Amino acid sequence: MTSKATASMREHPAFAHLEAALAAANTPRAAHVMLRVDADDARLALMHAHAKHQQPTPALFGWTVSVKDLFDVAGQVTGAGAPSRAHLPPAQTDAPAVARLKAAGAIVVGRSNMTEFAFSGVGVNPHWGTPANPADTHTPRITGGSSSGAAASVGLGIADIGLGSDTGGSLRIPAALCGLVGFKGTAGVVPLSGAYPLSTSLDTVGAITATVDQAIAVHQVLAQQPVAHWAKPLSHLRLGVCSTVMQDGLDSTVQAAWDRSLQRLRDAGVTIVNVDTSCFGEITSIQHQQPLASVEAYGLHKAWLREHESEYDPRVLKRIRLGSAASAADYIAMQQQRQALKHSVAALLQTVDAVISPTVPITAPAIAQVAPGTERDDVFFATNAQLLRNPSTVNFVDGCAISLPCHLGQELPVGLMVWHSAGMDAQVLGIAKQLADNVLAQPL
């Protein structure tokens, strides 16, 4: 390629967009957000994408991507946020999720930080540091996890797409706490291969973005299927609310945002109906007694622990070891309970277009409250349980869900979760777009 052609190519807005993203990754606010930034590779990839795809332009051409550290990227070690994996050989191929984004013209800028082994909704990592929430420039606050770096990268402008995973809320929790959009699709819609597992039956692959439109565009690429247009007017929309469990223990900021959102929906003509929540309490109780994620994680980590236990984050290790007491019979019974509850919830939701709830009941606490240290363990585990409660209920019944910002500009971010049962991804995304465009974004 001639120097003149190269210079002309660099006049494309995508090149300025990439340079702005790379500059954002090198600011003090981006400390601990990215585990590595591959600036030269990103520039080269954009040049190749531009030269290859003149017409038609790919769906995500020039969009920047941060890749959560649990996805395989060819030539890189998949660390899963854990130093115990640093000595492993690099991946030979990209994970399908990464490959699909690249094929659609998106540019990977680097690997994002995460909770070790993706096992916490708080986002603290004692090994590589904890990213600070971009939404508060005064007090360092958690981003939430486990996709902590993914959310921070989008909030700071490093990435348009924070590729991540969601086992009990790992996309929606950080999206809610950072004022972003996080979508968790039905399990199995996006391939899990090439992603380090936490829970073989709960894991899903998705992304954090700034808008619902971006979430839809990314999901279409990751799932390799179009999202059908949702055309039902707001005046014909029926949304369910859970009067207990999911609305329990809301802090004052979340309560105000929730009440205001409900009023806006009613003012827009949306019908709000109560949904029987008795089974949600049963799900919470089951998860508290014997967390399914812990049982499956222990099975995955048992052999690795024999040599590397001392290298684990003690808090992550504690949660993994909760699964050690479960027998095969216990696991089978747990999955049977889960299937029964999945069918019960699906039947309950047949009368509504979707369910809405606060994504999490609290705003982001200061990092200092939950930073590594045994003296803060009680606060950490209590915070983790609060953050996981609502989103993990959806995962337990294999639902699909999205978190939307619903706070005012001067408030700490609050998320509103729109969700439904398995297979309703397009409907949830369509309703989310309607609410984001016509209800939640409207000035008071």
How is residue 95 written in tokens? 């994970």
Catalytic residue among 112, 146, 147, 392: 146
Residue 405: beta bridge partners?
Answer: 415
Q: Which amino acid is at 166?
A: D
CB atoms within 10 A of CB 389: 23
Tell me how far apart the alpha carbons of residues 409 and 179 are, in angstroms, rounded to a whole number. 10
Q: Which of 230, 35, 316 is nearest to 152 (CA)?
A: 35
Q: Which residues contact 328 (CB under 8 A, 6 or more apart)?
A: none
The backbone region for 336, taken as left when phi is positive above 0, alpha when psi lies in -120 to 50, beta otherwise, is alpha
H-type helices in 66-204, by residue range?
A: 96-103, 148-155, 172-178
Catalytic residue among 147, 170, 261, 392: 170
Question: Is residue 310 among the annotated active site residues?
Answer: no
162 to 146, 175, 432: CA distances (angstroms): 12, 10, 19
H-type helices in 193-313, by residue range?
A: 212-223, 252-267, 278-289, 292-308
Question: Is residue 170 among the annotated active site residues?
Answer: yes
Residue 239: beta bridge partners?
Answer: 272, 354
CB burial string 374-383: b at 16+ within 10 A, e below:
eebeeebbeb
Catalytic residue among 68, 102, 342, 433: 68
The set of catalytic residues is 68, 146, 170
